[in-house]
Amino acid sequence: MTDILPPKRKGQVVVLCAPSGTGKSTLVKKLREEFPQIGFSISCTTRDPREGEIDGIDYSFLSVEEFNDKLEVGEFAEWAEVHGNFYGTPKKPIEKMLFKGMDILFDIDFQGCMQLMETMPEAVFVFLMPPSYAELKSRLEGRDTDSKPVINRRLRNAMKEMASAPKFEYWIVNNDLDKAYSELKSIYLAGKNRPCSNPGLLESILSTWE
């Protein structure tokens, strides 16, 4: 065993995308419970809070005017209109977390993912799929948080979202929750061993050569 300390690991960004109702929030919650040190990007949205959602924890809930003001001054790393509401990722908290070397998890839609694929090519992009349309419908209805028209709109959009799946590096089918979770966890842990997460490591080991 050698006592040479490796250089500090760089925080990795994991971006999770899925049609609404697939189980993204459920999996994000499990990953954050097991790894509380993972930073989570709290998005801004113009949609109304659901029962139990807390401003500043689940989302920053904004009016359309407030959202547009932030958009105009370039406060978002990405943004999109999703199911008739605006959503955006604030840049500053992400920059701060990355500066501290923290890993960050993003829960955003496919349009936002396409933007981040351009601006954050080192991020890990994961697409989560429902096992079938019938199961997705049953999960959206069973969640009991959205009205029938909202559910129908989300189901219509799901097809378009599924069409973006080939652009992602990893796919996870959320059929059995425990299996899907262990796959997400494996992807997260494997990301820590990518060369881009370990700048200077190779050089530091090579420097031990005579």
* Binding-site ranges for ligand 5GP (CB under 6 A): 20, 43, 47, 78, 80, 82-83, 87-89, 107-109, 111-112
Q: Provide the minimum distance between the beta carbon of 131 and ligand ADP in the complex, in angstroms, as a whole number.
A: 8
Going through the chain in order, the beta strands assigned E by DSSP cover: 13-17, 39-40, 44-45, 60-61, 76-82, 85-90, 104-107, 124-129, 170-173
- Least Cβ distance, residue 1 to ligand 5GP (angstroms): 44
Choose among ligand ADP, ligand 5GP, none what residue 112 binds, the Cβ cut-off being 5 to 8 Å by kind. ligand 5GP
- 191 lies in the site for ligand ADP, by CB under 6 A: no
Q: Do residues 169 and 126 lie in contact, with contact meaning Cβ atoms separated by under 8 Å?
A: yes
Nearest to 61 by CA among 71, 52, 53: 53
**Residue 64 or 177 having the CB closest to ligand ADP:** 177
Chain-centre distance of CA 161, in angstroms? 15
- Contact track, ligand ADP, 15-34, x by CB under 6 A: ---x-xxxxxxx--------
Instruction: Write phi, then psi, for 129 (nearest 5 degrees).
Output: -115, 145
